[in-house]
Amino acid sequence: MKKILTILTALFAATAVYANELNLTEGKQYQVIDQPRSAQPEVIEFFSFYCPHCYYFDVDYKIPQQIQQNLPEGVSFKQYHVDFLGRQSENLSRAWALAMAMGIEDKVKNDLFIGAQNNAFNSMADIRQVFINNGISAEQFDSSINSFAVNNLVNRQAKLAETFNVRGVPDFYVNGRFRVNPEGLSNTNVETFVSEYVETVKQLLKK
């Protein structure tokens, strides 16, 4: 991942979609994991607002957004926050669960990334302010942050991260059976790396 970070920070990512199909090889671009296939086609990304790689993937190079834009109809895409990075990681996992429950992920995501990357969060109160700054009332936040729906999403994020044995982020899983291996993708330039990432996910959905 350090090798990939060097490339991503050195170059500006283009947003082209990979034109030719990759010849996917197990153990290279992807790994098969010992889990049952998901009932419905899906792509899951595990990430952390504290993770600089996740920041570059999402904010600068928009890999998750490109994957979502290229998904076939009926395929869901979820981003789940892990709670093993950073001092406010558990609070951020809960706040992200609230954002998912309210359908406001795009409103708060960038500011949560920026705040975490700058170590600006000392408590849930600081995270709460991000929501308020983005149009969510204090009453909405306070009445929902510990709600049943949010608690369920907090538990789901943690349970799936444990199920998939997530140890580093960003980490992408397809249909519960395949993990994208970024080290096996081309690192000649950012455009190729991003395009191969998107194409790998698209092809794994067909397996």
d(CA 119, CA 33): 34
d(CA 41, CA 31): 17
d(CA 77, CA 100): 12
d(CA 140, CA 159): 26
Model pLDDT, residue 90: 98
Contacts of 31 (CB under 8 A, 6+ apart): 178, 179, 181
């067909």: which residue's tokens?
206
User: Whole-structure pTM over 0.95, yes or no?
Assistant: no
Model pLDDT, residue 1: 59
Model pLDDT, residue 188: 85
Per-residue pLDDT of the chain (207 residues; tens, 9 = 90+): 555 555 444 443 333 444 456 899 999 999 999 999 999 999 999 999 999 999 999 999 899 999 999 999 999 999 999 999 999 999 999 999 999 999 999 999 999 999 999 999 999 999 999 999 999 999 999 999 999 999 999 999 999 999 999 999 999 999 999 999 999 999 889 999 999 999 999 999 999
Compute CA distances 99 → 33, 129, 141, 177, whole Å.
Answer: 29, 13, 10, 27
Computed from CA positions of residues 11, 190, 67, 96, in that sequence, does the dihedral angle turn out positive or negative? negative
Model pLDDT, residue 120: 98
Model pLDDT, residue 125: 98
Structure tokens given for 20: 């030719």
